[in-house]
Amino acid sequence: MAEIYHATATAPVNIAVIKYWGKASTKLNTPTNSSLSVTLSQDDLRTITTASCSASFDSDALWLNGAPHDVSNARSQACFAELRALRKAKEDQDSSLPPLSSYKLHLISENNFPTAAGLASSAAGFAAFVRAIADLYELEETPTQLSRIARQGSGSACRSLFGGYVAWEKGSREDGYDSIAVQVAPESHWPTMRAAVLVISDAKKGVSSTSGMQATVATSTLFPNRANVIVPARMEAMKKAIAEKDFEGFAELTMADSNSFHAVCLDTIPPIFYMNDSSRAAVRVVEEINRCAGKKVAAYTFDAGPNAVIYYDEANEDLILGVLKKATDHVTGWSDKYSRISPKVPDGFNDSLLAALSTGVSRIILTGVGSGPLKVPKENALIDNEGNPKSST
């Protein structure tokens, strides 16, 4: 058997605070508006991917959590083609390099969080995919340059190539070349940003984000104003709030933009509903925490599903988690690390708001801002000697 080349990388999940919703070009996977996210810690949520290639491999293949997945889709193919072209250019410059660009690829990928949780895993997945192949090919492109490729796999994946606070600038070129991610601030700039993910189950699976966002673009009369006027202003305000570590400003913009996104979903024909009664209970609890605090100490945001992500600053952890623990002490996720948190609500808190949250949440994931993709030592690769997944741990 010919030599197997491989490299392994991890990539994080990111949760947008200014939302991506709407494609300017479905072919290029460019957005109708810029967006901005916080990268979450890989200690809690990450994809690990080993990219490997060999003259012995018969075809490109991908395994996710041990199961084979199709890579014939246009999105995966676009990423393969772009990365191979970059490798090919290197090989053309230096004939001593092994011709990896001509070999088939085997990708082996695992998430450290349950797929059933309904967390958007495609961002971490495509970021790890691109980062691992770029490492395998020893590409020197910057994360921003690679973000152009990851964007073609899954739009929000471009933001998972960085840690900290990340903008996806929509760009203005016809060919999508300037639709890329940039780091607004590293995690070290504002390391005390925390996130509690409330996993909320839903009887009915919502429409996929790809078809949902295109329905919104095609039919919502409120949408153009959001994409063209409201979000551009919010992007600037959010960058300023992050630069100044202004949590109140960050929180106001985060909540307003989440609601604006779900408003244009509701304004779609037929209407798209991602939030359910439990999601709304989470909104009410966050509003009540802020009311009792007399300022914005927590901010909710919802992606294309019912789960709530609640951002807060570490300084207010006892307050925020005290309330959440009182409502959800029974669910998975309250590890020993949080045993010091007493389940309690502040004085004057309307306890009746907790019941609806308590019944709706099935798991909590407690995490915070984190780093971008990381290299994994060769000995920890997910691949066996034949180029197949090692038996899953």
50: which residues sit within 8 A by CB, 6+ positions away?
Answer: 6, 7, 8, 107, 108, 109, 132, 376, 381, 382, 383
Residues facing 15 on adjacent strands: 38
Which tokens hold the place of 292? 């009792």
> Degrees (nearest 5) of the Cα angle 149, 191, 361?
80
Contacts of 287 (CB under 8 A, 6+ apart): none
Residue 279 region, left (φ>0) first, then alpha (ψ -120 to 50), else beta? alpha
C-beta separation of 382 from 18 below 8 A: no
As a whole number of angstroms, the distance between CA 60 and CA 255 comes to 42
Q: How far is the CB of 94 from a copy of itself (least distance, A)?
A: 54
Minimum CB distance to a copy of itself smaller for 80 or for 261? 261
Distant-in-sequence contacts of 272-275, Cβ < 8 A, 24+ apart: 272/206, 272/207, 272/212, 272/215, 272/216, 273/206, 274/206, 274/302, 274/303, 274/304, 274/305, 274/306, 275/302, 275/306
Q: Which of 9, 12, 7, 8 lies closest to 43, judged by CA? A: 12
Q: Can you list the positions of beta strands (E) in the chain?
A: 5-12, 14-18, 23-25, 30-31, 35-39, 46-54, 61-64, 67-69, 104-111, 165-169, 180-185, 193-200, 298-301, 308-313, 361-368, 374-376
Asked whether 343 and 357 are in contact (CB, 8 A), the reply is: no
Which residue, 204, 209, 188, 194, is CA-closest to 302?
209
- Which chain residues interact with a copy of itself by CB under 8 A? 203-204, 221-222, 225-226, 230, 252, 255-256, 259-260, 262-264, 266-271, 273, 276-277, 280, 283-284, 287, 356
Q: Give me the least distance between CB of 272 and a copy of itself, in Å please.
A: 10
CB of 169: closest distance to a copy of itself in angstroms? 21
Smallest distance, a copy of itself to C-beta of residue 114, A:
24
User: Nearest approach, Cβ of 46 to a copy of itself (angstroms)?
Assistant: 32
Nearer to a copy of itself, 283 or 327 (CB): 283
Q: How far is the CB of 266 from a copy of itself (least distance, A)?
A: 4
